[in-house]
Chain A
């Protein structure tokens, strides 16, 4: 299909799976980190932190997998993309490092507010950089003879920044839905209200990104307007949003989050469909960037065996800490 062999297609699928899992999992806890900005009461912040404390590390590991996977499966894409995104990527790494410090050191810091500020700032900057990186990829990266040859500032345009803002809104939305699920009492109610506003914000920004994306490259418009893509995606988004509205009445408090994650997954799928068969627009295809069949086979066999096991014990890790988190009483502090 489109000149891409089955093996490369599988490799692309594995990588896309890792990235989407990262966006859905870590996106949610980055959103919780950013929500520290609008939920200021210490006991609420404590609950927010506790809800992500045991799992954020495993969530972030999917991004580590993305790095190793891109280098191994599509070395040419890795080598072109990272120099092009030198500044946003390094900012993102520093932000994630600071965020890790905010989460893990918080308990021992003389002032908890310091940890919260690091978590908030780190989450915001990291999310912004991730959105900018996706935007830069979509608008195309200049390269020649297998190496990046732009000026290094393509990411500082209006389209990548719009994508950054959209991702911030999207992660905030996920974060609010997560807190609605995992908290009770006042924070639960607040998160419900916040999720409503944030869903409107996120959806309008995502729509703006979609419209701008269609203008970035003629081929995106051609691809996404094909009926076999436009039809099902419109239908699924409509259904998901309908479900999202109804979900607030359900006694399953995880439903709004699941619906929101569904919307994010559809948006992600649309992005990949628009790009296919390219890995880096305007002209680097998956097939050109792929590593040799020996390397791909070596990894895909491992991925097929290990990924299900990984998902199984990660689910176990989630389940151990599932359920509502109560605000700790004053005595335990």
Chain B
């Protein structure tokens, strides 16, 4: 029904469409997860210590939470149907396994989140502080549980387990425990949840730094700044450890991905160890790097935790199984580079705190502002590493991306992808503009809740 060249274009457009819809959605989703926990902490502190600043901050961030979470529902709806729109063969073959995980995500998590969201956003004056705190807890819990289920589905496609293959190539569920807790799931979930918290923390620290540069004495900005920097100082090192463990596991289950991350085309001679390539231009056609800048043996230190170990190189695998090396290679370096910067920010804040100079170090406030988007940029880069790095497969090693596609004509997929890109750019551009406008105003005393008309009328 449709030609080979057509199929190539449709494949590329469908992949672009998934990449666009998931990238926008995942930043929103992660920001919602992080903000929900932040709001939970603020409200708990308010109820416990009766600290008015906490309530002001709570209301201030509630308005921003309202912007992200509702649009997140709409962009999440698109994801729920992407599999059928563009990947109908994948849906038929793997739907019985990943479908139930997505179903549980909605049943357990989305409803919890959406059901209590109205009360959380608009109900403080209607239901009283206790029930309201319960609503905040439900929303925060819902956001965490939704990450659990969707990361489980994603992990299963990386490290499929607990299934059998039917005669027609469909994956049949055999053992739900093995499916949900598939081998890479614990690593991915930990890494992603930490990324969501860290991304939110850098945003909070950046916003507070911005306000402190203008109003050095604003007590609400100080509280937020201090809490966010504590979070960064604690979470960034933990994230580096979690990332290392995740990398070690990937080396076992997806060695091609790690070889692409390292840009390692051929294995070094025995005993020479793996170099750490700081920069290179990987060339898929010639199967080698240009302009390589590398430190010898350092790669072995984090790959095999010694100075002489080596890993499988790209030339040891079939060429048809290689992912686009350059994208994986660069995205990994962006992620790690930003991760190191965030860890440095956290460390610097600890040192300044220890010497009692946290409020006076304007340079740290400037650095916090500069690193505000770092957490989410690093997170997106990480997703690019793991998702581009598992190409050319959808279900790793078992179902190829090219064989997962829907029978939709290429022009339609291309136009749809362009239209989605346009709408998303406008919607998220507007959202970002409103976000920055709201964040531009420092949190003041007696902040109002969203839609005051609704919460104040009886």
Contacts and interface: CB of A to CB of B under 8 A. Distances in A.
Q: Which of B103, B118, B127 has the most CB of A within 10 A?
A: B103
Chain A at the B interface: mostly helix, strand, loop or mixed?
helix
A55 B115 CA distance: 8
Interface stretch (A34-42, A80-88, A202-210, A224-232): A80-88
Contact of A98 (B99, B123, B427): B427
Contacts of A109: 434
B17 to A, nearest CB: 9
A105 B73 contact: no
Contacts of B91: 71, 75, 78-79, 82
A298 B98 CA distance: 12
Contacts of B83: 71, 78
Interface of B: 1, 63, 66-67, 69-71, 73-78, 80-81, 83-85, 88-89, 91-92, 95-100, 102-108, 110-112, 114-119, 121-123, 126-127, 138, 172-174, 176, 406-409, 412, 416, 419-420, 423-424, 427, 430-431, 434, 437-438, 450-454, 456-458
Given A71-B84, A307-B107, A317 B116 contact: yes
A93 interface: yes
B115 A313 contact: yes
Nearest to A65: B106
B30 to A, nearest CB: 18
B73 A100 contact: yes
Contacts of A71: 80, 83-84, 91, 95, 98-99, 102-103
A54 B100 contact: no
Given A60-B77, A75-B96, A82-B81, A69 B452 contact: no
Interface of A: 46, 50, 53-55, 57-58, 60-61, 63-65, 67-73, 75-76, 78-83, 86-87, 89-90, 93-94, 96-101, 103-105, 107-109, 146-149, 152, 291-292, 294-295, 298-299, 302-303, 306-307, 310, 313-314, 316-317, 320-321, 323, 325-326, 328, 332-333
B440 to A, nearest CB: 12
Given A306-B107, A321-B118, A321-B123, A107 B451 contact: yes
Contacts of A313: 111-112, 115-116, 138
A240 B111 CA distance: 31
A324 B126 CA distance: 14
Nearest to A73: B99
A147 B407 contact: yes
A314 B103 contact: no
Contacts of A317: 115-116, 118-119
Contacts of B452: 332
Contact of B117 (A58, A63, A152, A310): A58
Q: Which of A86, A93, A109, A147 has the most CB of B within 10 A?
A: A93
Contacts of A98: 423, 427
Contacts of A299: 100, 103-104
* 4 pairs of A and B residues whose beta carbons are closest in the complex: A75-B95, A72-B99, A54-B118, A82-B84
12 contacts: A78-B91, A82-B406, A87-B412, A93-B74, A93-B77, A101-B74, A101-B430, A298-B176, A299-B103, A306-B108, A307-B107, A332-B452
Given A63-B77, A302-B104, A326-B457, A146 B92 contact: yes
Nearest to A315: B115
